[in-house]
Structure 1
Amino acid sequence: MSVKTALLSAVASLALVPMAHADGHVGERGRDGQVNIIYWQAPSTLNPFLSGGTKDVESASLIVEPLARFDETGTIQPWLAAEVPTVDNGGISEDLTQVTWTLKEGLVWSDGTPFTSADVKFTYEYCTHPEGGCAQVTKFEGISSVETPDDLTVVVTFSEPQPYPYSAFVGGESPILQEAQFEPCVGAAASTCTEQNFGPIGTGPFVVDEFRTNDVISLSANPNYREEGKPAFASVNFKGGGDADAAGRAVMQTGEFDYAWNLQLAPEVIAQMEEGGLGTPVAGFGPLVERIMLNNTNPDPALGPDERSVVRPHPFLSDPAVYKAMSMAIDRPLLVEIGYGQAGKVGCNWVPAPEVFASTSIDCSTQDLDGAKAMLEEAGWVDANGDGVREKDGIELRVLYQTSTNAVRQDFQALIKEWWQEIGIATELRNINASVFFGGDAGSPDTFQKFYADVEMYANTFNGTDPQAYLGNGLCDKAPSPATQWQGENISRFCDPEYDALWAELARTSGIEARAEIAKQLNDMIIERGGMIPLVHRGRLSAHANTLGGVKLNVWDSELWNIADWYRIGE
């Protein structure tokens, strides 16, 4: 299957299900030796609650698991729970204020100790501790209590009706931690627990043998995994670092690796790699959006390291004329063409999928340099001294634009810098190693959470097919700060009471059409009011070796969601 064919199919169905292989034999656990995985953005932690980086969430999904997760079609499936609670089966109360999860019987952690409801309750307490700096705290929004009437029952109570209760403990971003291991790590101690964060005990198919941050993870099959004969692989060599080009070649041309994630490469490069004959690209469109985040605070270094991402407003990005002109100056169809080809579409929304949630109110598909200039002129931003840079009230439009190191992103930076300079905005470019940029290290000045720049570019997505928790990342209290150990998903530090109130309305609204209407309004609000500039709706593109069976690309959860089902073909 060519990458073009795969992506065209994905456009039609939203989530492409790659050709399934039937495991021709069932045998002993570990029968197929080693599987080699490469993520060119190297994981920095195996605790997904301490990082918003996809690389960290997905590597951790080999080890720690949620109560339920989403399959390759976006359908919620029970995982550690015996079934998905609904109103019909009695798991959700009629008034939508309570959800009861029943755990599968006989579950044990990889160390052989029982997995119980107490671990689930502990995970809630761990992430919601006010001093903990949990990156996934939005998943627990609206919960008033988590109770455990017995070892197999978890009762989640909400402060008001929750029509969509599948955020906490669902998907790769919200797995369960073992209380016995993480009990010393609650609150401010969370980031100091290196042993736990680098080697969590889990219920997943693999256990950590060695974790070298920003480098290699060595894992072996969990001897206590709940399914007989799984995983088929005895060990995992999980290599991090390098670049997307080298990762793709390592699977499709040299055969050194079996799976390469996130091949953010130009279409002609993927096609050339595929000619190597050793691997197959797999692709699908979910909610992944490449965007430029706009800093709503003042990044001036003179403010000091803690203040510069807290003090507001931004000197000039608080002016709608500036950020709207910046958006108008961008030629998105050209970005799609040079960066992604069939793996991209013009992106005007923060939430582009599922289709029912995608707004049609914003049209950003046509570049308008003259219109951008006129907008800045009308707002009083003029080039008074003829140096090519507009200014107003002594403030010049000079932007520091940062992103992770990646060939496509550097191409985007160069083009956007040129367009912004054409409308009178001077632009300095900076790129940071992806493992550092997305690493979540509270001590590093170079993380995307710290955001010590005016604008920064990256992409992320959300688990599942309902964007409620994802849209919650625009809430005022979800901004990273010193008080949260720089964790939090409101990266732009956007803060609007109207947005917060509308999100609260979404959280209590039932019915897909009504929820979709509110979600679209939230999407439009954060874009129109200066939270971000969407660029490209990206397809996920990875590659697997032709000898690797069982792979089902999942755009709604971790790509490694079903690694327990992977196997070696012909062996």
Structure 2
Amino acid sequence: MSFEQQGFDTLRAQILNGQLSRRLVLKRAMALGLSAPVIAGLLAACGDDEEAGADPTSPSSAGGDSDATEPSGDGEETEVPDGEGDETPSDTASGGGQRGGGGQIRLNYWQAPTIINPHLAQGTKDYHASRVCLEPLIEFDDDLNPMFYLATEYPSIENETLAEDGTWAIWKLREGVKWHDGEDFNAEDVKFTYDWIVSEGNSATTLGVYLNIESVEIVDDYTVQINFKSPDPVWFDPFRGHNGLILPEHIYRDHMGDEGRNAPANLMPIGTGPFRCVDFRPGDVVLYEIFMDYWDEGKPFFDSVEMKGGGDAAAAARSVLQTGEADWAWNLVVEPQVLNQLVDAGQGELSVTPGVSYERILINFADPRTEVDGAFSEPSTEHPLLSDRNIRKALDLAIPRDVVKEQLYGEGDEASAALLPNLGVFESPNITFEYEPEAAQALLDEAGFTGFDLLFQTSNSAVRQRNQEILKAEWERLGFTVELKVVESSVYFSGDVGNPDTTSHFYADLEMYTTSPSSPLPISYLERWRSDDIAQQSNNWSGSNYTRYSNPQIDEWHDELKGTLDEDRQVELVHQITEQIWEDVVEMTVVTVAGKAAKSNRIAGHTNYVWQYNPMPQLKDWTLNEE
């Protein structure tokens, strides 16, 4: 069944059940692009009410002056009414809305998804594509209050569902939840998700979040107990957010370990979310349709979702803010003057989330030019130049962060060297930056530097390309020769083990992209600097340490951090780790970045959450703006 037919059938059923006024019928019908005769027939089925006499072909009768447009059923364009009113959800199971009838929501992700299994994903776009149809137990709002999805109760010492020392936690699960194929969700699925992630040979990219779990015990069909190997200060992280999306046991049980990457559901997932995947073309587009048996009554409002990839960030912004071809565009790494001009078109607005993200340059500690058993940048090799700390520090001192910020970045962005920006007490005040090219030259002279050819790679983004050019000019003044490489985003951020151009392969000297922690206590995020989590051929490049940096002291501090519940000691350890990384010049932050997206004027119900720089958990709550 097509998306259009699905929307029409839903609308017709709601009319026959007496659920909609004539005015709402008219709005839904126009949003679906139905012809005037069909709209007239639907209005007739409503009987007489306060909207009688409205002309279904008149834009003014549908809600007026919005400039937003979307294709009609015959390929022409028609004005889209602004819809149903704003709603900001607090309890995710609020219910009581209108399920279906809202037409299609169009998401533009210029970094196109390549897999729809979050536990094998290596790019944010894959997490987002997974989150449309898969769900975790909880998410967090900005005040760190739990937002419930597949769980209904947050573990607490008072309720005797959380150990005082953080060695176990009991989760109560939501009953009456269906998988998209009609099977029941229960505790078996939660336990299985853990078993699948840790199964030998799987190389799950979310493994770090689950390493301290001793076992997942089924108490009853809708209760699980998580037992930890040692006291765990982030006991809430497993099964939370995009690292915690639950997989169906009955779908994945024949694809454990090495077979995990071959599961058909990685490309056509079965989930519990408000929309089910009906078509996926990796690197291009994902299509979803409404799941009519979704557990949250009266949701979702929209009938279908299109997540379209490809192009670049500027084109994605234009599709929402100027042409109205999309409703949401994510990760707008676009010059501020360009964004401001697009906003002036009046089709939409920028959604700016105060960020914990930062644009950083990773330094390769391994040799990307030496082959080891068919692979490069293996941790058994050493970089011929960048293994020298003076060389790395010289590169850092020659970064004009203030210039980069002023020329390329905008609202909410800051020139910075921070490794955990805007993360409260965990951001060390001792991490600073200087622009000192003369000091950089002195360090190179001390190291006996006589020149070197650097390969510097990043994704296809106009801002990043201009950033590359600024840095290339600075570094070449010091005697380097810098070759710039640009990789298509769908490749660069993919988990394709056979493609040498991914961020985790890192077959270059330097690479640049944005990253951020997903938890207010960044224990799992700091895995990226551990010596036992290095991305390499033997683990299918699934390790989170892309730089191949190794320091036993970092491992020791991180081991202690994972086991202490003393908040003051947690802060001290995080500072020690990040300050050591900064001192060793393992990676170089250029700017801290606010989350920027474009939202169509017709969309209502969106809320900016720092810990959900991802609109997907909210899709079930989105509606259309009322005139």
TM-score by length of 2: 0.83
Give per-residue Cα distances to partners, 1:62-92, cap 9 Å, x unaligned: 1111111122554332321111212233221
The residue that corresponds to 1:274 in the other structure is 343
Query: Cα RMSD over matched residues?
Result: 1.8
Distance (whole Å) between structure 1 residues aligned to residue 288 and residue 579 of structure 2:
43
The residue that corresponds to 1:66 in the other structure is 136
The residue that corresponds to 1:334 in the other structure is 403
Give per-residue Cα distances to partners, 1:228-262, cap 9 Å, x unaligned: 11000010111111111111111111111111101
The residue that corresponds to 2:7 in the other structure is none
Shift of 1:323: 0.7
Which residue among 368, 372, 378 is the counterpart of 2:440?
372
CA contact (8 A) 1:42 1:435 kept: yes
Distance (whole Å) between structure 2 residues aligned to residue 272 and residue 323 of structure 1:
39
Shift of 1:214: 0.6
Is the partner of 2:353 in helix, strand or coil? strand
Distance (whole Å) between structure 2 residues aligned to residue 303 and residue 417 of structure 1:
29
CA contact (8 A) 2:416 2:432 kept: no
Gaps in structure 2 of 5+ consecutive residues: 1-84, 90-94
CA contact (8 A) 2:88 2:607 kept: no
CA contact (8 A) 1:293 1:457 kept: yes
Letter in 2 for 1:510: L
Give per-residue Cα distances to partners, 1:470-514, cap 9 Å, x unaligned: 112222222222222221211112221111110111112224333
The residue that corresponds to 1:21 in the other structure is 86
Alignment of 1:183-198 (within 5 A): 183-193=253-263, 195-198=264-267
Alignment of 1:109-508 (within 5 A): 109-193=179-263, 195-303=264-372, 305-364=374-433, 366-381=434-449, 383=450, 389=451, 397-508=452-563
CA contact (8 A) 1:138 1:473 kept: no
Letter in 2 for 1:376: L
Distance (whole Å) between structure 2 residues aligned to residue 308 and residue 171 of structure 1:
32
Shift of 1:141: 2.3
| Cα pair distance change 1:27/1:341, threshold 3 Å | closer
CA contact (8 A) 1:329 1:372 kept: yes
Distance (whole Å) between structure 2 residues aligned to residue 445 and residue 483 of structure 1:
15
Letter in 2 for 1:91: T
CA contact (8 A) 2:214 2:229 kept: yes
Shift of 1:405: 0.9
Gaps in structure 1 of 5+ consecutive residues: 1-19, 384-388, 390-396
Give per-residue Cα distances to partners, 1:165-206, cap 9 Å, x unaligned: 12211112221101111112211112222x210111111111
Which deviates the most, 322-331 or 527-536?
A: 527-536
Which deviates the most, 486-495 or 241-250?
A: 486-495
User: Looking at both structures, which has the greater relative contact order when contacts are Cα pairs under 8 Å and sequence separation is at least 6?
Assistant: 1
Shift of 1:26: 5.5
CA contact (8 A) 2:378 2:537 kept: no
Shift of 1:340: 0.9
Is the partner of 2:561 in helix, strand or coil? helix
TM-score by length of 1: 0.91
| Cα pair distance change 1:213/1:550, threshold 3 Å | same
CA contact (8 A) 2:359 2:512 kept: yes
Distance (whole Å) between structure 2 residues aligned to residue 363 and residue 437 of structure 1:
29
Percentage of identical aligned residues: 36
| Cα pair distance change 1:23/1:485, threshold 3 Å | closer
The residue that corresponds to 1:566 in the other structure is 622
The residue that corresponds to 2:78 in the other structure is none
CA contact (8 A) 2:137 2:148 kept: yes
| Cα pair distance change 1:485/1:23, threshold 3 Å | closer
Distance (whole Å) between structure 2 residues aligned to residue 320 and residue 299 of structure 1:
18
CA contact (8 A) 1:250 1:256 kept: yes
Distance (whole Å) between structure 1 residues aligned to residue 487 and residue 208 of structure 2:
27
Shift of 1:353: 2.5
| Cα pair distance change 1:129/1:493, threshold 3 Å | farther
Distance (whole Å) between structure 2 residues aligned to residue 95 and residue 65 of structure 1:
28
Which residue among 540, 543, 548 is the counterpart of 2:598?
543
Distance (whole Å) between structure 2 residues aligned to residue 399 and residue 538 of structure 1:
26
CA contact (8 A) 1:437 1:446 kept: yes
Distance (whole Å) between structure 2 residues aligned to residue 289 and residue 28 of structure 1:
39
CA contact (8 A) 1:47 1:197 kept: yes
Which residue among 107, 110, 114 is the counterpart of 1:44?
114
Which deviates the most, 490-499 or 447-456?
A: 490-499
| Cα pair distance change 1:399/1:306, threshold 3 Å | same
Give per-residue Cα distances to partners, 1:497-545, cap 9 Å, x unaligned: 1111101111122243332221121111223224211111100000111
CA contact (8 A) 1:70 1:556 kept: yes
Distance (whole Å) between structure 2 residues aligned to residue 548 and residue 254 of structure 1:
15
Which deviates the most, 552-561 or 115-124?
A: 552-561
The residue that corresponds to 2:46 in the other structure is none
CA contact (8 A) 1:135 1:489 kept: yes
Which deviates the most, 329-338 or 148-157?
A: 148-157
Give per-residue Cα distances to partners, 1:320-354, cap 9 Å, x unaligned: 10111110110101111112122311221221132
Letter in 2 for 1:378: E
Is the partner of 1:177 in helix, strand or coil? coil
